[in-house]
C-alpha cells in the first residue's frame, strides 16, 4: 500500500500540501461552513423597498392630483368673464351668472346674493390660488 494520507490532511498530487492556499478551513477545528439564509434577507429587503416605492408613488400621485386640480381651477378662472386687469396679490371672487357662465368680481360673497363658486388670489406667477370654495 502506498503512502496513504489521512482524510484530515489536505494534499493534492499536483500541488502537495496546500491547506494554507485554500480560502476555507481544512482541519477538524476549523469553523463550520454554513450557507447563509439569503431568502429571508431578500424577502425583508424586497418588503422594505416595496414600501418605499409605494410611499413615493402615493406622494407622486397626490402631487399629480393636486396639480390637476390647480390646473382645472386656473382654467376655470381664466375662462371666466372679467372686464378688469387683475392685480397680483388681490383677492377675487368667482360667481355663476344667470346664463350659466362664470364671472370674476371684487365683491365678497357676504355682500352679494349670487351663486359663489370660489375665492381666489392671483400670485406673482399669474397662477390663481384657490383660497376657499
| pLDDT of 1 | 47
- What CA–CA distance (Å, rounded) separates 75 from 72? 5
Comparing 105 with 27, the larger pLDDT belongs to 105
Strands 91-96 and 102-105: antiparallel
Average pLDDT, the chain: 87
* pLDDT tens digits, one per residue of 24-66: 777 777 878 788 888 888 999 999 999 999 999 999 999 999 9
DSSP string, 15-35: TBS-GGGSSS--STTSPPP--
| pLDDT of 21 | 74
In the predicted model, is pLDDT for residue 18 greater than 80?
Answer: no
Given a contact cutoff of 8 angstroms between Cβ atoms, the answer to whether 70 and 127 are in contact is yes
Comparing 91 with 5, the larger pLDDT belongs to 91
> How would residue 2 be classed by pLDDT, with cut points 50, 70 and 90?
low
Amino acid at each position: 500500500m502506498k503512502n496513504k494520507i489521512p482524510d484530515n490532511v489536505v494534499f493534492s498530487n499536483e500541488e502537495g500540501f496546500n491547506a494554507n492556499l485554500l480560502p476555507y478551513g481544512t482541519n477538524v477545528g476549523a469553523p463550520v461552513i454554513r450557507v447563509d439564509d439569503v431568502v429571508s434577507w431578500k424577502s425583508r429587503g424586497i418588503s422594505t423597498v416595496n414600501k418605499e416605492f409605494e410611499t413615493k408613488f402615493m406622494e407622486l400621485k397626490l402631487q399629480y392630483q393636486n396639480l390637476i386640480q390647480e390646473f382645472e381651477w386656473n382654467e376655470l378662472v381664466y375662462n371666466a368673464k372679467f372686464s378688469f386687469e387683475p392685480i397680483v396679490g388681490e383677492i377675487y371672487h368667482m360667481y355663476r351668472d344667470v346664463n350659466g357662465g362664470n364671472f370674476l368680481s371684487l365683491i365678497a360673497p357676504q355682500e352679494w346674493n349670487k351663486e359663489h363658486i370660489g375665492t381666489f388670489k392671483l400670485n406673482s406667477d399669474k397662477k390663481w390660488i384657490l383660497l376657499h370654495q
